Amino acid sequence: MEEFREITMGELIRETASRYPDREALIFPAASLRLTYSEFEQKCRETAKGFMALGVKKGDHVSVWATNIPQWVYLQFGLGMIGAVLVTVNTNYKSSELNYILNQSDSTTLVLIEEYRDTNYRDMLSVVVPGLNSMEAGKIRSDSLPLLKNIVYIGGRSETPGMFSFDQVMGLGRKISDAELAEREESIDFHDVVNMQYTSGTTGFPKGVMLTHYNVINNARMVGDVMGMTEKDRLLIQVPLFHCFGCVMSSLNCVVHGSTMVMMEYFDAIKALKYIQDEKCTAINGVPTMFISILSHEDFSEYDMSSLRTGIMAGAPCPEETMRQVMERMHCPEVVIAFGQTESSPVMNMTRRDDPVDVRVTTVGRLLPGILGKIVDPATGEELPPNVQGEIVTKSPCVMKGYYKMPDDTEKAIDADGWLHTGDLGIVDEQGNFKITGRIKEMIIRGGENIYPREIEEYLHKHSKIRDVYVVGVPDKKYGEQVLAVVIPEPGEKITEEELVEYCTNRIARHKIPRYWQFTDEVPMTASGKVQKYKIVEQYSLRLTG
The secondary element (H helix, E strand) that includes residue 211 is strand 208-212
Q: Where does residue 300 rank: exposed (0-12), middle (13-18), buried (19+ CB within 10 A)?
A: middle
pLDDT tens-place string over residues 378-437: 888 999 999 999 999 999 999 999 999 999 999 999 999 999 999 889 999 999 999 988
Residue 13 has pLDDT above 80, yes or no: yes
Percent with pLDDT over 90 in the chain = 78
pLDDT tens-place string over residues 471-524: 999 988 778 889 999 999 999 999 999 999 999 987 887 888 999 999 999 999
> Residue 194's pLDDT band (boundaries 50, 70, 90)?
very high
Count Cα neighbours of 19 within 13 Å in the Cβ-side half-sphere: 15
Q: What is the mean pLDDT of the chain?
A: 93
Which architecture characterizes domain 36-188 according to CATH? 3-Layer(aba) Sandwich (3.40)
Torsion of CA 461, 348, 215, 147, to 10 degrees: 40
Q: Which CATH class is domain 208-392+403-413+421-439?
A: alpha beta
Mean per-residue pLDDT for 363-374? 96
Question: Between 3.40.50.2000, 3.90.1200.10, 3.30.300.30, 3.40.190.80, what CATH number should domain 444-545 receive?
Answer: 3.30.300.30
Residue 202 has pLDDT above 50, yes or no: no
Residue 201 has pLDDT above 50, yes or no: no
Q: Measured between alpha carbons, how far is 415 from 411 in angstroms, rounded to an integer?
A: 6
**36-188 matches 208-392+403-413+421-439 in fold:** yes
Domain boundaries, the chain: 36-188, 208-392+403-413+421-439, 444-545
The secondary element (H helix, E strand) that includes residue 487 is strand 480-489
Is 182 or 93 the better-scoring residue by pLDDT? Answer: 182
Pairing of strands 109-113, 150-154: parallel
Count Cα neighbours of 520 within 13 Å in the Cβ-side half-sphere: 13
